Chain A
Amino acid sequence: MLLNIAKRLAQALLVLLGVALAVFIMLRIIPGNAIITMMGEHADPVIIDRMTEELGLNEPITVQFLRYLKGAVTGDFGTSYSMHRSVSELMGAAFGNTVKLALAAAIFAWLLGIVSGIIAAVRKNGLLDRLFMGVSLLGVSMPVFMTAMLLQYVFAYLLHWVPISRVTDWRGYILPAIALGWNSAGSIARLTRSTLLEVLQADYIDTARAKGRGQLGVLTRHALRNAMLPVLTMMAVQLSSMLSGAVICETIFSINGIGRLAVQAISGRDIPLLQGTILFSTALVILGNFVADSLYAVLDPRIRRGSES
């Protein structure tokens, strides 16, 4: 078990290093000059040269990369070209907003998805099943920007129930959370339904019924524990991807999160900021997968290694 974790951690670090290298190289081969973006088209060539030197952009790319890595390990991702503040500081401030949004969206998605998935499975082919599965198909196939703008139009513009964007208090998070969680709710509902239906066919469900468990007991004590294993994995992956920044949702609702920061970095050709946000997101996704795998091992004794007996 410990060896497994160590192996996975080593793999995760390698992936992170690879992503860092790829991003570093790509950002240097795309056209456009960060200094010109910063100083304006008509800046004095002398000043441009001096800035290039100051930022170390005239050095060989390998030297630049190694220096960047050295900083990244200690949490220093450089200074943003466009906002003139340290990247880690900017990301730290943005991450708080992203966490709030992600948690709200995840809780909405999971509650809705799991409950409707269970009801659909129990009432297989019934009216509720058809209704929930129809809606969830809509959830899975509707892009975030469409959900977001529809919600804004109906609940903010027409009904004035919630602010249209610019989060000032918790009410501002309602629409973004629904827009961001809508997709996930759909996939969670469908996965819950299908795994639960499969599990309900298992022999040990018959055993549980033969023991005298009623429908509810069979469901909660025997079926759900088995059916939720793949669902939990999906939940962990969903949360990590939400935490790594919801680019579209944050932009539409003007939430100053990681995703919006990345968009600002792209439009400002802010290389250090962009590198930082991408690395951060990658790390979160890797972490999410790692947590999902470990959860699976904890919950399913068949996967656990070196257990007793």
Chain B
Amino acid sequence: MGDKNVLEIRHLRTSFFTQKGEIRAVDDVSLDVPEGKITGIVGESGCGKSMTARTVLRLLKYPGKLVGGEILFDGRDLTKLTEKEMAKIRGGEISMIFQEPMTSLNPVVRVGKQVEEALRLHRRLPAREARRQAVAMLDAVGIAEAEKRAHCYPHELSGGMRQRVMIAMAMICKPKLLIADEPTTALDVTVQAQILNLMKRLRDNGTSILLISHDLGVVAQVCDTVYVMYAGRIVEQAEVCELFDHAAHPYTRGLLGAVSSLGSGAATLETIPGVVPNLLHLPAGCAFSLRCGECRADCAGHLPELRECAPGHRVRCHRIGEVSA
């Protein structure tokens, strides 16, 4: 495997053009997804993590638009491909699973058919062979009696089952990259653990995964590298252990502080004051300066660079080196 990257995103910018003005949902984001690893993007709702994922597959909805940057996959820049060429990559080489297993499956099509669909599209397999592989894949993602379940409609399955179907659907063509957008958010904790284990197994079998989550617990369990996003920008990136042990950005430390743990004995849960800022009215400088306890007078004035503070650990904050980690 080595250090090769499956996906390299360079200076990606995605905006929504609304009547009130341009909303920069993804603002100059660069990230790498190394082969055979799980790379996480973490952040609050509205920070641009899902938009980054959708932009990679060019699944943006009006009024969202790719404004600039490069998405290098397998030596090709996905931003330059036509819609037809993109359709060949979607589901075949890069696939995606979504947050809501309840609504992400077509309610009037049997799940087996939905799983085999990508196979028939990309591999042009005959119906019988596609069905055989679909059932095998359903079995592989842990669906008992896969043969029988393949005949079910989505509403006849539980949430965890449906997310397994989604994963089977995404994995059926053995893609090089799997983008998982909050795959466990809508699920019970026990089911969540099963799905995460499944994702680890996929990684061990060689699939590279880009995992989007707002849940630091999920990220800590499965990711190898983590990117923290805030207001459309990456504010910190590091190996998972480094990030959890030596979080540098005040926002990351705030997020970690807000994770409850039963053993800590703390009576109240720590929170980050304020809310995610309106992306229409961002300060010219650090977007977190509005909520940051360590903010200095000039923080809001100019944008900090993403600087390396330790090997492989980069952070976007003026006060790095001054504030204690």
Interface of A toward B, CB cutoff 8 Å: 202-204, 206-215, 217, 221-222, 225-226, 229, 299-302, 307-309
Contact among A207, A213, A226 with B98 in the assembled complex (CB-CB below 8 Å): A207
Q: Mark B77-111, 1 if CB is under 8 A from A, else 0.
A: 00000011001111110011010100111111100
Contact among A210, A214, A226, A229 with B106 in the assembled complex (CB-CB below 8 Å): A226
A206 lies within 8 A of B117 (CB): no
Q: State the CA gap A217–B117 with chains docked (Å).
A: 11
Residues of the A chain whose Cβ atoms lie less than 8 Å from the Cβ of B170: 210
Do A204 and B153 form a contact, CB below 8 Å, given A211-B90, A211-B95, A212-B90? no
Nearest CB in chain B to that of A208: its residue:
B106
Residues of the A chain whose Cβ atoms lie less than 8 Å from the Cβ of B156: 307-309
Nearest CB in chain A to that of B88: its residue:
A212
A212 lies within 8 A of B122 (CB): yes
Q: State the CA gap A204–B214 with chains docked (Å).
A: 22
Contact among B89, B106, B118, B122 with A204 in the assembled complex (CB-CB below 8 Å): B106
Do A204 and B90 form a contact, CB below 8 Å, given A210-B59, A225-B109? no
B121 lies within 8 A of A204 (CB): no
Q: State the CA gap A47–B102 with chains docked (Å).
A: 77
Residues of the B chain whose Cβ atoms lie less than 8 Å from the Cβ of A307: 153, 156
Do A211 and B152 form a contact, CB below 8 Å, given A204-B104, A206-B104? no
Do A211 and B153 form a contact, CB below 8 Å, given A202-B103, A203-B103, A222-B106? no
Residues of the B chain whose Cβ atoms lie less than 8 Å from the Cβ of A221: 117
Report the count of interface residues on B (CB-CB < 8 A): 33
Taking the nearest CB of chain A, how far is it from the CB of B315, in angstroms?
32
B117 lies within 8 A of A203 (CB): no
Q: State the CA gap A214–B96 with chains docked (Å).
A: 16
- B166 interface residue, CB < 8 Å from A? yes
Do A211 and B155 form a contact, CB below 8 Å, given A225-B109, A301-B108? no
Nearest CB in chain B to that of A229: its residue:
B108
Q: State the CA gap A229–B59 with chains docked (Å).
A: 26
Residues of the B chain whose Cβ atoms lie less than 8 Å from the Cβ of A206: 59, 98, 104
Nearest CB in chain A to that of B99: its residue:
A203
Q: State the CA gap A222–B98 with chains docked (Å).
A: 17
- B26 interface residue, CB < 8 Å from A? no
Taking the nearest CB of chain A, how far is it from the CB of B133, in angstroms?
15
A211 lies within 8 A of B117 (CB): yes
Nearest CB in chain B to that of A218: its residue:
B87
Taking the nearest CB of chain A, how far is it from the CB of B89, in angstroms?
8
Q: State the CA gap A215–B82 with chains docked (Å).
A: 13
Contact among A210, A222, A229, A302 with B155 in the assembled complex (CB-CB below 8 Å): A302
Q: State the CA gap A300–B170 with chains docked (Å).
A: 25
Taking the nearest CB of chain A, how far is it from the CB of B103, in angstroms?
4
Q: Most B CB atoms within 10 A — which of A212, A214, A221, A299?
A: A212
A203 lies within 8 A of B100 (CB): yes
27 contacts between A and B (CB under 8 A): A202-B103, A203-B100, A204-B103, A204-B104, A204-B105, A204-B107, A206-B98, A207-B98, A209-B87, A210-B95, A210-B96, A211-B90, A212-B118, A212-B121, A213-B87, A213-B117, A215-B83, A217-B121, A222-B109, A225-B108, A226-B107, A229-B108, A301-B107, A301-B108, A302-B155, A307-B153, A308-B152
